[in-house]
A and B are shown apart, each in its own frame.
Chain A
Amino acid sequence: MGNQTVASTVALAGAGDEAAFAQVVASYHADMARVAFAACGDRELAEDAVQAAWLIAWKKLHSLRDPERVRPWLLAVTANEARQLLRRRHGPVVEIDVEAPGDNRNDPSAGIERLDLRRALAHLSPDDRALVVMHYVIDLSSDELGAAVGASPSAARMRLSRIVDRLRKELRDG
């Protein structure tokens, strides 16, 4: 959706227009699911987190200060719901399941093996995993990253840089 379309659609969805809300869901659900899955490391939990996030969106979309900022807001809500869900289910310390059944797929074209990646991600916090996905998979801008994590764009970049350094160390040197 273009910026103008996004603003109009979000405004309509915020006003309770079902078709507009469905359009917002169609546009952002996949990205939200990726963030939730990265944060939770569990498909079912991720589904619940995204569902909870959409419910919040349904109720709160109208209070969005700038409808064009809907994407980082939805991703922030998703990451927050994922974190809360994990805490409720597993307590304060959460690790994703590294040795998932049937997880022996490797893409020979990729320089990082799936199992290694899972192990490395497991050492990050759910928020950090979400941040990595927001940047490297969803391609959020610095402004959007900052908005999604409640920090300035430069602070978000710095945090991301530290996470990547850690991943680099684990995946390249480890």
Chain B
Amino acid sequence: MAERDRFELDLATALRAYLEDAPTEVRPTELARQFATAYPHRRAVLGRWSFGLVPALAWILLLGGLLLALVGGALLVGSQLQRKLPAVVPPIGQPPIGQLYECPPGSTPDEPGPVDQARPAGWRSATAFDRRAGRLVVVTTSDLASGIETWTFDVCTNTWTRMHPNREPPNFEYSLLVYDVNSDATILLSVDRRPSPAIPLRVWVYDLQTDTWTEKRAPPTIANLSLTYDPVSGLVVAAGAPGSGGAPELWNYDVETDAWTQIHQANRPRPLDFGAYAYDASVDRLVAYGDGAYGAPPYETWLFDIRSGTWSRSAAERPPVVGWLTRPGLVHDEAAERTVVFMRSPLTAYDASADRWEILAGPETLWEDPPGVEVYDAVNRRLVGWGRGVVAFDLTTREWTVLLAPR
């Protein structure tokens, strides 16, 4: 920055004097203790900041009333609630993405699950969708002292189930989950950036049928890792960069052989921070979203053809959600054939066929501190996110549905 002139020096002095009234005092240890103790039940503890309780209750009452009206209406006209579950449309010329669970007759996936049910309490988590079981698979942890917990969420009954495998992966700083349709297994890649972790990356595989975790071979150490699944090859794809802004590296992981294989790249995109990748079945490409250092421009969308190993840059206008320093997530919505970027809000989608980004509705109207999108629910063909509650977002109607209200 240029040297400051007299006015700027005076301005800085005056600002400092003015900001003497800022509430800078804090008790760091108490604040940390307060959050550690209060989350996820922080609203009961935070006192003056607990402004979300009434909206949550209002939502429960409203949803209960709507439910009664719906059931009453259905009885009056002598019909039953039905939900269409159309088959997953595979990409043109490609094999089907995999067997798909169907909700049992009489299921009510649009009706909220029981509010008083047990639910995951941890706040560091990763989520995948097991399309053969029709369940979200979630690993979650709260603090370094406790281990992880494995949970599933049934998208036909909107109920959580705590799983009890014989052993579970160790605690992690953050983690990624992806469901491998071909192997009918959920892959966990946990990352640990803490000082001197014994193993920075770990891979575990979860078999929901047998409720067992098995440790597998970890990939090479790469920063900014992202996991996605390529239904054509039936392999997991791990993408990352060796350093911030470095050229991306792509690896295939074969669960059956427990082997990592580097994917050939005929060309490379320009160095960007590629924070997220997703497989987009509508164009049979990986969609990668990248930005410059510090989350600054350029904001670019790139497509990677796994079959030919070639990168191409999208000419689309920059995505509307930019400049956020946290890791974005990408998920492909098979029904709407869009790739959705989720960070905080707004929710944005990339239509690879039309090469266009657009802003979708945000979740702000549901309740205070709403969950963001986590995964694509292929059974009900909508996006699902969870936090204190569980919500679904239909990209076609752009409507949010509460699947489980917060307590």
CB pair A107–B28 under 8 Å, yes or no, is no
Q: Is A86 an interface residue (CB 8 A)?
A: no
Q: Chain A residues near B295: list those with CB within 8 A.
A: 65, 69, 147, 150
- How many of B's residues come within 8 Å of A, CB to CB? 61
Q: Is B219 an interface residue (CB 8 A)?
A: no
Q: Which of B14, B32, B42, B174 contacts A63 (CB 8 A)?
A: B174
Q: Is A93 an interface residue (CB 8 A)?
A: no
Q: Mark B114-136, 1 if CB is under 8 A from A, else 0.
A: 00000000011000000000000
Interface size grouping (class) on chain A: 35 or more
Q: How many A-B residue pairs have CB under 8 A?
A: 200
Binding site secondary structure of chain A: helix
Among residues of B, the one whose C-beta sits closest to the C-beta of A43 is: B23
Q: Is B39 an interface residue (CB 8 A)?
A: yes
Choose among B49, B171, B292, B326 the residue with the greatest number of A CB atoms under 10 Å from its CB.
Answer: B326
Q: Which of A17, A60, A107, A143 contacts B293 (CB 8 A)?
A: A143
Known A16-B124, A137-B19, A142-B1; judge A34-B24 contact (CB<8 A). Answer: yes
CB pair B14–A62 under 8 Å, yes or no, is no
Kindly identify, within residues 18 to 70 of chain A, every residue whose CB is under 8 Å from any CB belonging to chain B. 18-19, 21-23, 25-26, 29-30, 33-34, 36-38, 43, 46-48, 50-52, 54-55, 58-60, 62-67, 69
Q: Mark B272-308, 1 if CB is under 8 A from A, else 0.
A: 0101000000000000000011111100000000000
Q: Which of B7, B21, B48, B224 contacts A168 (CB 8 A)?
A: B7
Known A11-B194, A29-B24, A147-B294; judge A117-B15 contact (CB<8 A). Answer: yes
Q: Is A126 an interface residue (CB 8 A)?
A: no
Closest chain B CB from A58 CB (angstroms): 4
CB pair A66–B325 under 8 Å, yes or no, is yes
Q: Chain B residues near A118: list those with CB within 8 A.
A: 18
CB pair A51–B49 under 8 Å, yes or no, is yes
- Bound Cα distance A30, B27 (Å): 11
Closest chain A CB from B326 CB (angstroms): 4
Q: Which of A34, A52, A64 contacts B49 (CB 8 A)?
A: A52
- Bound Cα distance A157, B35 (Å): 36
Query: When A and B form their complex, which 3 residue pairs have the shortest distance between CB atoms, in order from nearest?
Result: A150-B323, A111-B10, A147-B294
Q: Using a CB–CB distance below 8 Å, which chain B residues touch chain A?
A: 1, 6-8, 10-19, 21-24, 26, 28-29, 31-33, 35-36, 39, 42, 46, 48-49, 123-124, 141-144, 171-174, 192-195, 224, 244, 273, 275, 292-297, 322-327
Instruction: Pick 18 A–B contacts, CB within 8 A, sort by A.
Output: A17-B143, A19-B29, A33-B23, A37-B19, A58-B39, A59-B123, A64-B325, A64-B327, A65-B295, A73-B326, A113-B14, A117-B15, A132-B15, A141-B1, A146-B296, A150-B324, A152-B297, A171-B11
